[in-house]
Amino acid sequence: DVKVTQSSRYLVKRTGEKVFLECVQDMDHENMFWYRQDPGLGLRLIYFSYDVKMKEKGDIPEGYSVSREKKERFSLILESASTNQTSMYLCASSSLGGANEKLFFGSGTQLSVL
C-alpha cells in the first residue's frame, strides 16, 4: 500500500515556538506538497517541491518555510508559531506525470498554537 506518513497526528505548541512538521512518502514521488485546511476555506497550498532541494511558494507561504533534503521527506517549518497558524496541515505527494497525476495525502497534523 502506498503511504504518506506525517510524524504527528496532534501537536500543541506555544506562540513563538519553532515548529517542525515532517512528512515521508514511500512511493518514490518527485512532487511533494504542504496544504493547510481550515473550515470554510478549503485546502490552501503553502509550499511545494518538484525535486530534492527545490521549493516553490504556494498561495500562502508567509510565516512558513520548507526543507527537502531527501526525495522521500518534505518538512514544513513554522519559524515562530502564531495563533493564526492553528490549523490542520496536510502533506501530499504525486509522481511527475503531469496534470492528471493524483495526489496522495497523509492523514494530517492538527496543530494548535496557544
Partner 1 sequence: GQNIDQPTEMTATEGAIVQINCTYQTSGFNGLFWYQQHAGEAPTFLSYNVLDGLEEKGRFSSFLSRSKGYSYLLLKELQMKDSASYLCAVYNTDKLIFGTGTRLQVFP
Binding site for partner 1 (CB under 8 A): 4, 35, 40-45, 48, 58, 90, 98-100, 102-108
Smallest separation (angstroms) from partner 1 to the CB of 42: 4
Smallest separation (angstroms) from partner 1 to the CB of 82: 23
Residue 75 grid cell: 518538512
- The nearer residue to partner 1, 75 or 89, going by C-beta atoms, is 89
- The nearer residue to partner 1, 16 or 97, going by C-beta atoms, is 97
Torsion angle in degrees (nearest 10) through CA of 22, 87, 79, 76 = 30
